């Protein structure tokens, strides 16, 4: 009888632990990265935070969000000290020592060129920017526009290069379209800037460390549920942005 009771209690404990699952560590960049992740009154907010809060509800995993500078974040992923990088196109990490495994995609990332007022011109190819200085983010990749004759001037984050554009340090920058739209939405000073051509548009998902590849089936199922039910779209619309159709 004691054995039966012990077995039942052990089974219940196992089911309880299984329902909670393991804790996965998620990298966030410590420079504010709105609307994806930022801090307000000391608390994390943004699209990625909302996504992981929902994933906790419908997947067997818990998540710890950790702030790192971009270069440090990549190093910690290499070491296996973080498990997930959100909102990533696999081609951006092709040169990393640990490439990672990728979830199904759940949104599009669109990079655009943004100009100071009155400085816009048509950009269809890298040749249109040869010899010109462009504000960029250190460590970010811009596809065919990563050309030696397109003169990059790196800074730590997109918010910083936006400020430099306002202060006339640059005539143009490369930036995520959602980021510039969010800044324009929140601060009218940015509305004088001119959004130019799209440089690239790619589907993004979660980059998962190979040590945690076992988590992908459950994460994919949860992401698909969020897409099917419209929850993913709702999260993006909360920040007045468009999710993938």
Query: Does residue 43 fall inside a structural domain?
Result: yes
Q: 97 and 130: one domain?
A: no
Per the structure, how many domains does the chain have?
Answer: 2
Residue 166 within a domain: yes
CA distance 46 to 39: 8
Asked whether residue 226 is domain-assigned, the answer is: yes
The answer to whether residue 245 is domain-embedded is: no
- Are 27 and 82 contained in the same domain? yes
Give pLDDT, residue 175. Answer: 97
Residue 18 lies in a domain: yes
In our burial notation (b when 16+ CB lie closer than 10 A, e otherwise), range 81-97 reads ebbbbbbbbbebbeeee
Q: Same domain, yes or no, for 132 and 192?
A: yes
- pLDDT truncated to tens, each residue of the chain (245 aa)? 433 333 333 333 333 334 457 999 999 987 688 999 998 888 889 999 999 999 999 999 999 999 998 889 999 999 999 999 999 999 999 999 999 999 999 999 999 999 999 999 999 999 999 999 999 999 999 999 999 999 999 999 999 999 999 999 999 999 999 999 999 988 999 999 999 999 999 999 999 999 999 999 999 999 999 999 999 999 999 887 544 44
* Judgement on whether residues 141 and 197 belong to the same structural domain of the protein: yes
Residue 168's CATH number:
3.40.190.10
C-alpha span between 114 and 96 (Å, rounded): 28
One domain for residues 149 and 225:
no
In this predicted structure, what is the pLDDT of residue 42? 83
Phi, psi of 9 (to 5 degrees): -65, -40
User: How many whole angstroms separate alpha carbon 31 and alpha carbon 72?
Assistant: 12
Same domain, 150 and 32: no
pLDDT of residue 197: 98
String of b and e for 16-42 (b: at least 16 CB within 10 Å)? eeeeeeeebbbbbbbbbbbbbbbeeee
What's residue 7's pLDDT?
A: 39
Residue 120 lies in a domain: yes
pLDDT of residue 20: 56
Shared domain for 120 and 142, answered yes or no, is yes
- Pairing state between β 84-88 and 194-208: antiparallel
> What pLDDT sits at residue 19?
43
Q: Are residues 178 and 115 in the same domain?
A: yes
| The predicted structure's pLDDT at residue 88 | 97
In a domain, 243, yes or no: no
Residues 26 and 145 placed together within one structural domain of the fold: no
Residues 132 and 164 in one domain: yes
Q: Is 122 found in the same domain as 35?
A: no
Q: How many CB atoms lie within 10 A of CB 14?
A: 10
The reported pLDDT for the residue numbered 15 is 37
Model pTM above 0.95:
no
Which residue range is the domain that position 52 belongs to? Answer: 2-107+203-238
| Same domain flag for 20 and 91 | yes
What is the spatial distance between Cα 21 and Cα 83, in angstroms, rounded to a whole number? 14
Q: Let me know if residue 244 belongs to a domain.
A: no
């Amino acid at each position: 009888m004691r054995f039966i009771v012990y077995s039942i209690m052990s089974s219940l404990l196992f089911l309880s632990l299984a329902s909670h699952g393991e804790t996965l560590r998620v990298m966030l960049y410590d420079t504010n990265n709105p609307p994806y992740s930022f801090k307000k009154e000391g608390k994390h907010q943004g699209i990625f935070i909302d996504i992981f809060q929902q994933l906790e509800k419908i997947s067997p995993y818990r998540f710890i969000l950790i702030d790192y500078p971009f270069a440090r974040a990549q190093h910690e992923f290499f070491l296996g000290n973080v498990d997930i990088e959100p909102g990533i196109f696999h081609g951006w990490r092709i040169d990393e020592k640990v490439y990672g495994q990728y979830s199904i995609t759940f949104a599009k990332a669109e990079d655009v060129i943004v100009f100071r007022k009155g400085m816009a011109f048509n950009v269809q190819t890298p040749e249109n920017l040869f010899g010109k200085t462009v504000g960029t983010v250190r460590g970010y990749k811009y596809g065919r526009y990563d050309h030696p004759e397109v003169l990059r001037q790196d800074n730590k984050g997109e918010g910083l290069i936006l400020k430099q554009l306002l202060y006339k340090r640059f005539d143009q920058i490369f930036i995520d379209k959602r980021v510039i739209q969010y800044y324009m939405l929140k601060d009218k000073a940015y509305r004088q800037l001119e959004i130019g051509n799209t440089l690239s548009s790619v589907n993004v998902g979660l980059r998962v460390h190979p040590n945690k590849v076992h988590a992908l089936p459950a994460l994919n199922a949860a992401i698909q549920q969020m897409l099917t039910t419209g929850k993913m779209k709702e999260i993006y619309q909360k920040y007045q942005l468009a999710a993938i159709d």
